[in-house]
Amino acid sequence: MTDPTTDPALARHHVANLLHGYTEVADRKDVAAGVELLGATTVRFPDAGFDDPAGAVAFLERLWGSDVPHRHDVSNLVVEAAGPGRWRARAHYTRWVLDPDPVLTTLGEYAVVVAERDRRWSFVSLTVTRTWSR
């Protein structure tokens, strides 16, 4: 069996799953699932962020408070080793608002650090940048 702490292909798979899991939660605007996924993570957006579950609840409620649906797409994922059991990654994202037709509203980038501990992969940090916003 391949060691998940040293195999780049396996790490890329797990990092992709985490990022796609995050965008799925964001698109559902599911605050409880967002806190479960990111509550212990250092999260930074251009205008705010959080470092603990209490901060995650307040931040995600504000971020996902609108009733207007949206969808994120992730592309151009690059994953690099960042030390034993840690991986650094970056990916592009687009955000579409569906009101009622899809309108591209944001182009940006995710920068993450992910760790594998006891066969569990999780975010250590997530930084969201916005290259362009409508």
Mean pLDDT value across residues 76-96: 96
pLDDT at 74: 98
pLDDT at 4: 52
What tens digit of pLDDT does each residue of 44-76 get? 999 999 999 999 999 999 999 999 999 999 999
The domain 8-133 having CATH identifier 3.40.50.10090: the answer here is no
Q: What is the DSSP letter of 85?
A: T
pLDDT band at 43 (very low <50, low <70, confident <90, very high): very high
The full set of domain ranges for the chain reads: 8-133
Q: 26 exposed, middle or buried (CB, 10 Å; 0-12, 13-18, 19+)?
A: buried
* Residue 1 pLDDT greater than 50, yes or no: no
pLDDT band at 6 (very low <50, low <70, confident <90, very high): confident
Interatomic CA distance for residues 104 and 107, integer angstroms: 8
What tens digit of pLDDT does each residue of 16-33 get? 999 999 999 999 999 999
Helices (H) and strands (E) in the chain, counts: 3, 6
pLDDT at 5: 60
Vertex 90, ends 93 and 39: CA angle to 5°?
85
Closest by CA position to 95, among listed 83, 104, 86, 87: 104
Q: 115 exposed, middle or buried (CB, 10 Å; 0-12, 13-18, 19+)?
A: middle
What tens digit of pLDDT does each residue of 89-132 get? 999 999 999 999 999 999 999 999 999 988 899 999 999 999 99
What are residue 120's DSSP bridge partners?
Answer: 117
pLDDT at 118: 81
